[in-house]
Amino acid sequence: GQNIDQPTEMTATEGAIVQINCTYQTSGFNGLFWYQQHAGEAPTFLSYNVLDGLEEKGRFSSFLSRSKGYSYLLLKELQMKDSASYLCAVLDSNYQLIWGAGTKLIIKP
């Protein structure tokens, strides 16, 4: 079966750095996405990785290792508004998005 694992919840301090991990086992791989979802709202696109390595975009970076079936989202200089759920999703061989359950990130002052 297809499976995406990410921690259920993480807590971090404002101004700090946090890394949210995602491991996956899917039938085929056509890229991995990270989305941010605030409570009661739809997900918003953060990043897309299809090749191994680190993609940096402002305070957010995303890393992918296809051989390990592993990705992480790195958030720097945390702000209170970063409190949200972060969803990892993999585009499988049928170009369908397989979603992780999401990681709820709590930022404390």
Partner 1 sequence: GAVVSQHPSRVICKSGTSVKIECRSLDFQATTMFWYRQFPKQSLMLMATSNEGSKATYEQGVEKDKFLINHASLTLSTLTVTSAHPEDSSFYICSARRTGNSFYEQYFGPGTRLTVT
Q: Cα–Cα distance between 102 and 94 in angstroms, integer?
A: 22
- Of the candidates 26, 9, 48, 44, the one whose C-alpha atom is nearest the C-alpha of residue 99 is 26
- 8 or 67: CB nearest partner 1: 8
- Of the candidates 53, 90, 9, 108, the one whose C-alpha atom is nearest the C-alpha of residue 100 is 90
Smallest separation, CB 14 to partner 1 (Å): 24
- 5 or 74: CB nearest partner 1: 5
Smallest separation, CB 4 to partner 1 (Å): 9
Question: Residue 39 CA to chain centroid, in angstroms?
Answer: 16
Smallest separation, CB 57 to partner 1 (Å): 14
In the complex, the residues that contact partner 1 under the rule CB under 8 A are: 30-31, 33, 40-45, 48, 87, 91, 95-97, 99-102
- 23 or 76: CB nearest partner 1: 23
Smallest separation, CB 3 to partner 1 (Å): 12
DSSP-assigned beta bridge partners for residue 107 = 12
Handedness of CA 57, 85, 12, 4 (dihedral sign): negative
- 49 or 78: CB nearest partner 1: 49
